[in-house]
């Protein structure tokens, strides 16, 4: 089928819940994507921070093909080798004692909230409240929406899960005012993605840990986007020297195959018994085998050091553009936000026309999240294109006055 036929059929047969670009992507290779017309794009969004090892990685491809030819699915009523292998890796390289696999990040949030409520059930009457923060984004399912800050996401689907309140992000005094003995869990992203690439300060995360300990509440870190190497550390929260009771993962864990994970301490895991949570497809052999390959590569100290160095280089190059449209360049590792004085939509479109794919984080922030295998040559090429786009937009805005 030609490109236009595919786009036409999409408009007829699929629900219109996405604002898709008018291109059809057909294949990928490393940090590049190719459309059905053969045009190449430098991918600096990696499927929204998912393709950590890039596209068509030969190690992932070989492992998935071998596993698919061996065993694809048996359900969670039986043991499988890849599931145990990936769980062992996650637990032994983190604070966690136990792992529960899911199919997505939103499901990981749902499970984390459910586990927190179950853990708190026997710890006093009314201990069920959950505290989240301004700018947060945790997913689109009903529980995940309940702890997502943006009203436009939540209100069309109200009433949602009760017992949730929000405090200003990075404001410890405000958090202390709402965290109480009725709080069962505090949920926070160490680096907010959808909220504009804002990092929690170490003092804020340490303060939340202390408040949770004071009030007998669980601390949950959402590292679905910022975890597993994206910030140049294996886990984003390592920068603060704080450990949670629960952590959610997903996006990069299987390099594009659907997987999520809930990491938790034995204290929390012991509160949830057989039959109290489950999933038919979660943690299947194929996705877990891919996850083993991804984890082994990303957790290597040399790999993480390269991510940190390339992230610093990316931010330096972006700041060197010195565009009057740029308010701030921020982020950690290869999760970078470029806040603009204007809407980012024209910049995204102009970049795409020049062969660069980037995404937004809100209305006025560019979100840059390339595959973690990106090189400085790729960064130079992407920054050059963004520089052209910013200059073009500045000219357009100046002429429009």
Helix (H) or strand (E) holding 399: helix 376-399
Comparing 400 with 191, which gets the higher pLDDT?
191
Indicate whether 401 pLDDT > 80.
no
How far is Cα 271 from Cα 276, in angstroms, rounded to an integer? 10
Indicate whether 383 pLDDT > 90.
yes
Q: What's the confidence (pLDDT) of residue 295?
A: 98
Q: Place 122 in a pLDDT band, splitting at 50, 70 and 90.
A: confident
Lookup result for tokens 């409520």: 117
Q: Give domain 3-57+301-399's CATH architecture.
A: Alpha-Beta Complex (3.90)
CATH number assigned to the domain covering 59-298: 3.40.640.10
Boundaries of every domain in the chain: 3-57+301-399, 59-298
pLDDT digits (tens, 9 = 90+) for 127-165: 999 999 999 999 999 999 999 999 999 999 999 999 999
pLDDT digits (tens, 9 = 90+) for 236-293: 999 999 999 999 999 999 999 999 999 999 999 999 999 999 999 999 999 999 999 9
Q: Place 124 in a pLDDT band, splitting at 50, 70 and 90.
A: confident
Q: What's the confidence (pLDDT) of residue 85?
A: 98
Residues in Cβ contact with 123 at an 8 Å cutoff, skipping those fewer than 6 apart: 184, 216
Angle (nearest 5°) at CA 372 between 240 and 219? 30
- pLDDT, average across residues 366-393: 97
Indicate whether 337 pLDDT > 80.
yes
Mean pLDDT estimate for the chain: 97
How far is Cα 101 from Cα 99, in angstroms, rounded to an integer? 6
User: pLDDT > 70: what percent of the chain?
Assistant: 100
**3-state DSSP assignment of residue 49:** helix
Q: Place 366 in a pLDDT band, splitting at 50, 70 and 90.
A: very high
């Amino acid at each position: 089928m030609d490109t236009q036929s595919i786009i036409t059929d999409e408009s007829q047969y699929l629900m219109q819940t996405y604002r898709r670009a008018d291109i059809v992507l057909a294949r990928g290779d490393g940090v590049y994507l190719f459309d059905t017309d053969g045009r190449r794009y430098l991918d600096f969004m990696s499927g929204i921070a998912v393709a950590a090892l890039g596209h068509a990685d030969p190690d992932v491809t070989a492992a998935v093909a071998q596993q698919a030819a061996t065993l694809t699915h048996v359900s969670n009523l039986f043991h499988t080798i890849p599931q145990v292998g990936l769980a062992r890796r996650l637990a032994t390289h983190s604070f966690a004692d136990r792992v529960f696999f899911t199919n997505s990040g939103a499901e990981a949030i749902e499970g984390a909230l459910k586990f927190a409520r179950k853990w708190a059930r026997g710890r006093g009457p009314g201990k069920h409240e959950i505290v989240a923060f301004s700018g947060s984004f945790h997913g689109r399912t009903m529980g995940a929406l309940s702890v997502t800050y943006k009203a436009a996401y939540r209100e069309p689907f109200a009433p949602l899960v009760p017992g949730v309140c929000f405090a200003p992000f990075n404001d410890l005094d405000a958090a202390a005012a709402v965290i109480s003995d009725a709080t069962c869990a505090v949920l926070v992203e160490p680096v907010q993605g959808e909220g504009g690439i804002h990092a929690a300060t170490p003092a804020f995360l340490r303060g939340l840990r202390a408040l949770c300990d004071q009030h007998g509440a669980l601390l949950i870190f959402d590292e679905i986007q910022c975890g597993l190497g994206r910030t140049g550390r294996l886990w984003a929260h390592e920068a603060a020297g704080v450990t949670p009771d629960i952590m959610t993962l997903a996006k990069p864990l299987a390099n594009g195959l659907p997987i999520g994970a809930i990491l938790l301490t034995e204290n929390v895991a012991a509160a949830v018994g057989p039959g109290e949570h489950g999933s038919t497809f979660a943690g299947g052999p194929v996705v877990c085998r891919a996850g083993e390959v991804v984890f082994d590569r990303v957790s290597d100290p040399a790999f993480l050091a390269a991510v940190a160095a390339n992230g610093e280089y990316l931010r330096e190059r972006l700041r060197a553009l010195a565009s009057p449209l740029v308010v701030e360049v921020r982020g950690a590792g290869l999760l970078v936000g470029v806040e603009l004085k204007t809407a980012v939509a024209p910049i995204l479109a102009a970049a795409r026309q020049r062969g660069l794919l980037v995404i937004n984080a809100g209305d006025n922030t560019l979100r840059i999240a390339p595959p973690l295998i990106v090189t400085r040559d790729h960064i130079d090429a992407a920054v050059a294109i963004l520089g052209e786009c910013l200059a073009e937009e500045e000219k357009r805005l100046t002429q429009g006055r």
